[in-house]
């Protein structure tokens, strides 16, 4: 059968700047169905939420699956070849055995095309009716392909039935469609064979169903894979911190962004899965929705064509603007046992004399692609409530490019407070170490308003 499933998942959908998360690569392989015939039951959801394009795309996908198994098994004259068979079970409020395990491609297509949507969702009955199709005396491999778009709303708990099937040697693949019936992904993980990342396939778009079924069928129809090499490279915004020992094969860090995973053979004599987990850290300046992959390259001796999903994470970085840089330092050194040293620091223009005040301010909900003008006004207040002006500074905050409005923090706005008396008030009196009472006012407005003045002409 070859590589029957490939997946790439992350354990977090959102991280802070500099945060870490884990990435898991998963593969599943099966033996060749020409020499190792299999019985496959397609378990298809036809509940009410499948009406419209989801059911149409499901039919296309299931029919493509049947055709590929027919070709891969060496079938002739419209019959699946070399002992392999397919059965159709559909379910809504109740499940129906639309066919037994048969080899007729025409009859299988007819069963799929006859499906119509309506009713609730009874997964337990679907698993039971599918399990009843198998011959306990058969030596064929046994596979369920469960497709659903919703949660269980009818019947009993399907998990014990799925567990029973797995205990009897049934390999269970689960395909889930998000967005219509409130898909329970954890339930699919519970029902499927382990590891979940290798046997559970989730798609958010029913237009992709045909491709999902096609990819699964192509891999089932190929032999197990040998001399597998996977080269993974994460995006430049990330680095690989560590690699856990894979469940099969070996993995090595190539550089900060790359690793290589090699497997001698997988699924050559029996259904087999392999997983690799590694830890990634955000290190770049990028933020917002960021794809984890830069690229993943796969190769093996059998020529399996394998693609991995490209998950993304939301990197939450505050937008910081440094209002004023720190003064440039002047370096000097003292060596030996010198009691004193003369050093010429060069020319320096004195701006003011007194204590330093450094302010940070966060401007709330700044919309993307719009610059902001910010004024910061500092005054000192004496015991009688009189104000003495201590300075005003103006800044242009650069536009950010995040997907929505974002708080922007301007840091390091510096004022120097004079220590001498004000002369016009008592703000500066009271000695060098007196308590200082300050008042800050801030004004901010968009520079890029989009306003265009009407010239009043026709």
Q: What pLDDT, on a 0 to 100 scale, did the predictor assign at position 423?
A: 46
Element (DSSP H or E) covering residue 130: helix 123-132
Angle subtended at Cα 212 by Cα 211 and Cα 214, rounded to the nearest 5 degrees: 60
Residue 255, beta-bridge partner list: 258
Using DSSP, state whether 191 is helix, strand or coil: helix
- Residue 442 has which token pair? 């801030």
pTM, rounded to two decimals = 0.49
Q: What pLDDT, on a 0 to 100 scale, did the predictor assign at position 223?
A: 64
Q: In this structure, how many other beta carbons lie within 10 angstroms of the beta carbon of residue 56?
A: 16
Q: Beta-strand (E) ranges in 46-151?
A: 85-91, 95-97, 141-150
Angle subtended at Cα 449 by Cα 444 and Cα 454, rounded to the nearest 5 degrees: 135
pLDDT averaged per 10 residues in sequence order, the chain, 458 residues: 85 89 92 81 94 92 92 87 94 96 96 95 96 90 92 94 94 86 86 86 86 82 83 93 95 95 85 92 84 92 87 80 68 72 71 74 88 92 85 89 81 81 53 77 87 61
- CB-based contacts of 304, cutoff 8 Å, min separation 6: 2, 3, 219, 222, 225, 298
Q: What pLDDT, on a 0 to 100 scale, did the predictor assign at position 422?
A: 46
Taking the C-alpha atoms of residue 198 and residue 268, their distance in angstroms, rounded to an integer, is 17
* Domains assigned to the chain: 2-315 (3.40.50.410), 319-326+351-446 (2.60.40)
Peptide bond into 195 cis (omega under 30): yes
Report the relative pairing of strands 141-150 and 170-181 from DSSP bridges: parallel
């Amino acid at each position: 059968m070859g590589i029957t499933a490939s997946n790439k998942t992350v354990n977090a959908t959102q991280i802070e700047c500099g945060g870490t998360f884990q990435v898991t690569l998963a593969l599943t392989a099966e033996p060749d169905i020409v020499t190792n015939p299999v019985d496959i039951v397609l378990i298809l959801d036809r509940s009410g939420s499948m009406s419209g394009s989801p059911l149409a795309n499901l039919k296309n996908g299931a029919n493509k699956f049947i055709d590929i198994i027919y070709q891969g098994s060496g079938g002739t004259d419209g019959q699946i070849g070399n002992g392999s068979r397919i059965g159709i079970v559909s379910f809504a409020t109740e499940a129906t055995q639309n066919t037994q395990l048969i080899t007729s491609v025409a009859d299988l297509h007819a069963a799929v095309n006859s499906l119509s949507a309506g009713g609730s969702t009874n997964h337990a009955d679907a698993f039971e009716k599918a399990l009843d199709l198998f011959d306990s005396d058969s030596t064929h491999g046994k596979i369920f392909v469960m497709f659903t778009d919703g949660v269980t709303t009818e019947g009993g708990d399907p998990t014990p039935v799925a567990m029973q099937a797995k205990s009897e040697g049934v390999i269970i693949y689960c395909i889930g469609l998000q967005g219509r019936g409130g898909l329970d992904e954890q339930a699919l993980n519970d029902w499927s064979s382990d590891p979940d990342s290798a046997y559970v396939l989730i798609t958010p778009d029913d237009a992709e169903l045909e491709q999902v079924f096609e990819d699964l069928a192509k891999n089932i129809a190929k032999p197990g894979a040998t001399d597998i090499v996977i080269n993974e490279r994460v995006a430049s915004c990330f680095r690989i911190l560590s690699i856990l020992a894979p469940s099969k094969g070996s993995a090595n860090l190539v550089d900060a962004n790359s690793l290589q995973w090699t497997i001698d053979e997988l699924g050559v004599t029996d259904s087999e899965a392999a997983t690799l987990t590694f830890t990634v850290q955000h290190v770049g300046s990028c933020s917002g929705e960021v794809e984890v992959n830069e690229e993943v390259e796969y190769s093996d001796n059998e020529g399996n064509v394998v693609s991995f999903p490209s998950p993304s994470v939301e990197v939450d970085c505050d937008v910081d603007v440094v209002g004023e840089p720190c003064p440039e330092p002047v370096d000097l050194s003292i060596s030996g046992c010198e009691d004193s040293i003369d050093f010429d620091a060069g020319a320096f223009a004195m701006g003011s004399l007194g204590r330093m005040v450094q302010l940070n301010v966060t401007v709330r909900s700044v919309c993307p692609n719009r610059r902001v003008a910010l004024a910061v006004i500092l005054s000192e207040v004496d015991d009688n409530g009189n104000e003495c002006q201590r300075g005003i500074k103006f800044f242009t905050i650069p536009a950010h490019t995040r997907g929505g409005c974002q708080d922007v923090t301007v840091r390091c706005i510096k004022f120097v407070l004079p220590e001498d008396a004000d002369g016009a008030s008592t703000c500066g009196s009271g000695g060098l170490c007196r308590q200082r009472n300050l008042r800050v006012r801030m004004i901010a407005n968009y520079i890029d308003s989009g306003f265009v003045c009407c010239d009043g002409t026709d």
